[in-house]
Structures are given as structure tokens and as C-alpha cells.
């Protein structure tokens, strides 16, 4: 049977926290984010090729703008990963995801870690989640000069619900201690909405002028965000989803500002309408405020759905995903090829998958 490796990684959403645009260059905040893996996945499919080069393709519906430094027309990041891992010929890689890369579900990072997992496995190495994430961070830095705090790559690699701490160059992943009942309740109350297209938002009859709506409050301070993140974590682990929603709501101005939505009051309007119809908290997700994540009791979800779809938003299915990056199917070619140098280094102490 022809060797093939199919790896996948879940999408993920960071709850209640945003990157900090007000940091000075080189300043380290030492912050944490609450990461929730969701059931929109990214896949990497690796098969043999007779070409003297490595062939990499990305599904058309996942394409980023041509000038995107990582996922544009040149697919710079996937090619950099292949070079970094020392894989230079004899393989074909197909990358695809179940939602657009800029949907706010972290699928760019998910594609990255799924490719690392698949390429390593095709060479006979079954890397752990942390090893996959660290390799992805190193590939971005060493071959493209792109800095990454690593948190989102770790979120994709680990899956599940975690607090991901960053301090200096270290990333630590700590699972949230949620009971099965709380997890089910959280999953039932989360709602995801995406814009079908950016222009359809602004054609809404209920769109209000920029002079009528502004940010609801000043952005919270760094220390306040730290404290609120801690409160949000405590609320989740105690099963108090109302208190958790309050934390999301308090941080709304920061998410609004970080998403560069401050000049577009439509985002504020959508959020307020959702709250008027029963949502108790939420945040913007995605580039150019394409989507909203809301926390809403099930009894009010139909009203929220009706009100937001009338404004041009579409509700997407959403479920929590416990699994991180993993190999879904594989017929390994380990033993048929010589390991690249970096793979030989990684091989020390790492379990090799069985050849089928």
C-alpha cells in the first residue's frame, strides 16, 4: 500500500484575552490566555512524490491574500517548515481546513502544527504535542524571521481547554479543571457567528453611523486584564458560567480595540443586540471583526440567532474538541528513507510509530 500520513489539529479560540497592542518592542507581559479547542479542523495529507522537490498545495477555499507573509501565494510558511525539518524532496503535501484561515478559529496555527506532525510521522517520528508546537515556533523564527509567542501554536497542538501561560521565552500549558457537567453546559451555551462577507454587514438597514456608536468603555489596563483572566479561570473551574460571561463582557472593549473595530460601530451594535436578546457575554474573533463568540443560555439562543442573522451574520455549528494534533491515518514509510539531521536529533528518547 502506498505510504500516506493524514494529520489533523483542531481550531481554537482564546476566551477573554487579546494580544496587547500597547506593549513596547521587546516588552514581555507574562500573560496567560484561556484556550478552547473547537471542532473545526485543519488537515495535512502527506504522500510520496517522484518530483525532485517537495510539492505543497493549500485548498483554494483556505487561500489567504497573495501578500500574506505566511499563507499567501508563495506559501512561505509551509515551505519554511519543510526546509527546517530537512524534508526537501520526494513528498507531496496537501493542506486544507474546514473554515477560512481568517475566520478567527486559529486555523493558521492548526495547519502549521498538523503539517509538522505529518512530516515528522512520515519520517518515522511520533512527536508529542509540545514538541510539535516548539518545532513550529522554531521554523517560523529560524527560516522566516517571524516571531511567535507560541501560545496559539500550543493551543492547536494540545487541544482541549487550557490556560496557556507565556513568560519570556517559555510557554506552559495547564489544563482547566472542569467537571463533565460544566464542560457540557459551556459547550451548550457557546454560540459562534461569522459574517458571510464583510460588505453585507455594512448594508444592514440597522447599521448606525460612526457618530452614534463608539467603544462602550476605555480599554482595560494590563494589570486589570491579568486579574480578569484569573477571575475568568476561577469562574470556569467553579462552574459559574454567569461570572465567566461577566469577565468576557468586561473585556469587550479590549477585544474590540485589538480587532481594529473601533472605527466600525457595527461590531458594537451586533454585540448589544445579542445582549438585548439574551446573550450574557461575548467577544470578537477573527481578522477585521468577521465573527462573534457569544455565551448565551439555551432558552434565548433562537432569539439571538434570529436577530443576528437578520443583520447578515451566519451561525456556525460549534462543539468543544478534547483531542489535539494527531495522526488520523498512516501507512508509514519509516525505514525506507534516511532521517534528516534535525529528525535524528529529535529521535532521541522519542517513540517511533510502528510501520504498517
Task: Between 75 and 348, name the one with better pLDDT.
Answer: 75
CA dihedral 29, 101, 274, 270 (to 10 degrees): 90
Q: Would you list the domain boundaries of the chain?
A: 4-176+321-346, 180-316
Confidence of residue 259 (pLDDT cuts 50, 70, 90): low
Task: Please report the pLDDT score of residue 229 as a whole number.
Answer: 80
Task: Please report the pLDDT score of residue 226 as a whole number.
Answer: 74
What are phi and psi for residue 155, nearest 5 degrees? -60, -45
Residues 6+ apart with CB under 8 A from 13: 35, 36, 38, 104, 105, 106, 285, 293
Cα distances from 3 to residues 49, 284, 327, in angstroms, run: 10, 42, 13
Q: Do domains 4-176+321-346 and 180-316 have the same CATH topology?
A: no
The whole-angstrom separation of Cα 345 and Cα 349 is 9
Give the mean pLDDT of the chain: 78
Is residue 76 packed enough to be buried (19+ CB in 10 Å), middle (13-18) or exposed (0-12)?
Answer: middle
Q: What is the pLDDT of residues 33-85, one digit of tens each?
A: 899 999 999 999 999 888 777 888 888 555 666 666 677 767 888 888 888 88
Q: What is the pLDDT of residues 265-320, one digit of tens each?
A: 788 889 899 999 999 999 888 655 568 899 999 999 999 999 999 999 999 999 99
Q: What is the mean pLDDT of residues 114-132?
A: 92
The whole-angstrom separation of Cα 167 and Cα 143 is 23
- Whether the CB-CB separation of 356 and 336 falls below 8 Å is answered with no
Q: Which residues in 292-318 are b (16+ Cβ under 10 Å) and which e?
A: bbbbbbeebbeebbebbeebbbebeeb
Task: Between 99 and 214, name the one with better pLDDT.
Answer: 99
The two beta strands, 55-58 and 91-97, are parallel
The architecture in CATH of the region 180-316 reads 2-Layer Sandwich (3.30)
The CATH number fitting domain 4-176+321-346, selected from 3.40.190.10, 1.10.10.60, 3.40.50.300, 3.30.230.10: 3.30.230.10
Percentage above 90 pLDDT, the chain: 40
Task: Between 148 and 24, name the one with better pLDDT.
Answer: 148
Confidence of residue 167 (pLDDT cuts 50, 70, 90): confident
Task: Between 324 and 291, name the one with better pLDDT.
Answer: 324
Amino acid at each position: 500500500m502506498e505510504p500516506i500520513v493524514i494529520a489533523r489539529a483542531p481550531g481554537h479560540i482564546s476566551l477573554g484575552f487579546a494580544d496587547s497592542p500597547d506593549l513596547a518592542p521587546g516588552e514581555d507581559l507574562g500573560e496567560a490566555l484561556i484556550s478552547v479547542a473547537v471542532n473545526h479542523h485543519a488537515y495535512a495529507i502527506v504522500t510520496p512524490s517522484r518530483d525532485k522537490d517537495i510539492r505543497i498545495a493549500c485548498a483554494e477555499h483556505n487561500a489567504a491574500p497573495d501578500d500574506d507573509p505566511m499563507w499567501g501565494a508563495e506559501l512561505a510558511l509551509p515551505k519554511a517548515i519543510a526546509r527546517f525539518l530537512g524534508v526537501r524532496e520526494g513528498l507531496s503535501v496537501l493542506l486544507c481546513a474546514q473554515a477560512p484561515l481568517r475566520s478567527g478559529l486559529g486555523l493558521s496555527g492548526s495547519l502549521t502544527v498538523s503539517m509538522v506532525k505529518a512530516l515528522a510521522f512520515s519520517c518515522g517520528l511520533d512527536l508529542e504535542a509540545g514538541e510539535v508546537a516548539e518545532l513550529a515556533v522554531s521554523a517560523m523564527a529560524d527560516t522566516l524571521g517571524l516571531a511567535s509567542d507560541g501560545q496559539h501554536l500550543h493551543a492547536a497542538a494540545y487541544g482541549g481547554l487550557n490556560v496557556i501561560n507565556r513568560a519570556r521565552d517559555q510557554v506552559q500549558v495547564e489544563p482547566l479543571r472542569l467537571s463533565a457537567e460544566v464542560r457540557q453546559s459551556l459547550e451548550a451555551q457557546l454560540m459562534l457567528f461569522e459574517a458571510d462577507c464583510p460588505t453585507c454587514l455594512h448594508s444592514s438597514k440597522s447599521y448606525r453611523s460612526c457618530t452614534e456608536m463608539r467603544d462602550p468603555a476605555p480599554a482595560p489596563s494590563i494589570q486589570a486584564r491579568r486579574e480578569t483572566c484569573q477571575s475568568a479561570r476561577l469562574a470556569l473551574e467553579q462552574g459559574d458560567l454567569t461570572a465567566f460571561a461577566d469577565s468576557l463582557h468586561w473585556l469587550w472593549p479590549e477585544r474590540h480595540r485589538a480587532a481594529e473595530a473601533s472605527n466600525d460601530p457595527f461590531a458594537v451594535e451586533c454585540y448589544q443586540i445579542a445582549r438585548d436578546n439574551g446573550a450574557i457575554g461575548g467577544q470578537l474573533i477573527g481578522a477585521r471583526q468577521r465573527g462573534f463568540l457569544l455565551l448565551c443560555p439555551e432558552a434565548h439562543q433562537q432569539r439571538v440567532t434570529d436577530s443576528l442573522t437578520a443583520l447578515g451574520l451566519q451561525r456556525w455549528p460549534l462543539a468543544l474538541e478534547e483531542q489535539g494534533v494527531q495522526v488520523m491515518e498512516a501507512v508509514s514509510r519509516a525505514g525506507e528513507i534516511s532521517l534528516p539531521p534535525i529528525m535524528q536529533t529529535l529521535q532521541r528518547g522519542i517513540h517511533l510509530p510502528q510501520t504498517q
